[in-house]
Amino acid sequence: MKTFLIICDGLGDRPIAQFDSQTPLEAAYTPNLDKLAEGGVTGVMHTVDIGVRPGSDTAHLALFGYDPNVYYPGRGPLEVAGIGMEIKPGDICFRANMATVDDDMIVKDRRAGRIGDASPFAEKLNGIKIDGVEFLAGAGTGHRLGLIMRGPGLSPQLTDVDSKKVGVKARKFESADKSREAKFTAEVLNKFLEQAHLKLNKMELNRERVSQGKLPANYLLVRGAGIFREVPSFYDKYGLKAACVAGGGLYKGIAGILGMDVVAVEGATGKPDTDIKAKINKAIELGKEYNFVFVHIKGADTMGEDGDPEGKKKFIEKIDEAMAPMLNLTDSLVVVTADHSTPCVLKNHSADDVPVLISGESVRHDDVKQFGERPCAKGRLGHIRGSHLMPIIIDLMGLAKMFGA
């Protein structure tokens, strides 16, 4: 038996006036999702906890059964893992932007004119050693970069220096606590940023950019410090061989840290133009080799953050269309839910619960025949937490250990 877990990012929403006070999911035409709901059990879920506005990262950890209060490493390690850099326990990881500063270290552009490929710059900076600390750099998408500090006596307790503004001086890191480790980390990182600036300024590629009237990528805006600690793998925890189909780096990073195999799918972009059909078809194919396949679909969240209910509704209809082959699976559980709500009226995440459906031949049914926030609130699962989802799945797969005798 195998499970397909489809997480539609930011799917949940609030009533939209132009939809007669329905949510985008309720208003959308979703015959396939509705059939899945009809052929299974439904409910609503607070992914992290009641009243908690989850980030996508903490919510995903919770859905996979990893308490984010224990296992959340901060954004840096997840981003670094997401771009495929190898990380080791104890590494201090950051996300970074290639940026432009002038001779007085005033930030001119936070993305160096949105350079398309940071790899030549990452290569230049990769492997620099300062005071026994090795710096590893890897290119992410566009102007983004992953940065690792590796060495003894480091701490992620650093102040946030990215002012998110242009026209201000690039700030230096300071320790956020009184520990010797944090002070040392801040000092070494500041030295590295200075060296990096000098090296980048001298790069032929940047001289060319300047002569073409473009902004040089001559500085790193670094943020999201986190320390990577070993996490029990998904396989060790559940005995499931798991694969991940996702476009966005963060989701690949989370899957990677849990030891899932991250499988590339052509057309999976992590953006609203993503090829959802290709992702679902790939997932079904992977079901022959894996007994747990996680599919992440980002678009609904993006539409929510844009405050675009019509776009969100249309994107949900695209998800629904792509889900058609999931109706014909045998010996499988199909689970569809979200990591959090992203109401269009808020243009941000909210603490509202999300609908969840678990469909499969052996799953007890309820009377819910539509996938939506309101219908699912009447479902048999009732109101669960994200931490309940994996135990329910494991039991339905026939893998749960008995409590007692």
Piece in contact with Zn ion (CB under 5 A), picked from 1-9, 158-166, 214-222, 249-257: 1-9
- Is 274 an interacting residue with respect to Zn ion (CB under 5 A)? no
Q: Which part of the chain contacts Zn ion (CB under 5 A), choosing from 15-23, 289-297, 324-332, 336-344?
A: 336-344
Based on CB atoms, which residue is closest to Zn ion, 10 or 77?
10
Stretch that binds Zn ion, among 31-39, 264-272, 337-345, 371-379 (CB under 5 A): 337-345
Cα 5 vs. chain centroid, distance in angstroms? 15
Q: Three-state SS for 162?
A: coil
∠ CA(296), CA(299), CA(303), 5° rounding? 145
Task: Give the residue with the Cβ less far from Zn ion, 56 or 370.
Answer: 56
Kindly tell me which of 8 and 118 has the beta carbon lying closer to Zn ion.
8
Please name the residues in contact with 370: beta carbons below 8 A apart, sequence gap of 6 or more: 26, 30, 34, 37
Which one, of 306, 249, 310, 246, lies nearest residue 8 by Cα?
Answer: 246
* Beta carbons of 357 and 337 less than 8 angstroms apart: yes
| 352 in contact with Zn ion (CB under 5 A) | no
| 59 vs 193, beta carbon nearer Zn ion | 59
For Zn ion, give the closer residue by CB, 39 or 55: 55
Residue 366 contacts Zn ion per CB under 5 A: no
Least distance in Å: CB of 301 to Zn ion? 5
Contact with Zn ion (CB under 5 A): which of 339, 353, 366, 373?
339
**CB of residue 298 vs Zn ion: minimum separation in angstroms?**
8
- 28's CB contacts (< 8 A; 6+ apart) are 313, 314, 316, 317, 320
Listed in sequence order, the residues at least 6 apart from 219 whose beta carbon sits closer than 8 Å to its beta carbon are 98, 99, 100, 101, 105, 107, 170, 193, 196, 197, 200
- Please tell me the distance from the alpha carbon of residue 313 to that of residue 89, in angstroms, as a whole number: 42
Mask of contacts with Zn ion, 295-314, x by CB under 5 A? Answer: ------x-------------
Query: To which residue do tokens 């499969």 refer?
Result: 360
Is residue 13 a contact point for Zn ion (CB under 5 A)?
A: no
Whole-angstrom distance, CA of residue 213 vs CA of residue 136: 30
Residue 56 or 359: which CB sits closer to Zn ion? 56
Q: Which of 2, 6, 7, 9 binds Zn ion (CB under 5 A)?
A: 9
Distance (Å, rounded) from C-alpha 94 to C-alpha 227?
A: 9
Q: Which of residues 57-116 bind Zn ion (CB under 5 A)?
A: none
**Could you say which of 3, 22, 56, 341 contacts Zn ion (CB under 5 A)?**
56
Binding site for Zn ion (CB under 5 A): 9, 56, 301, 339
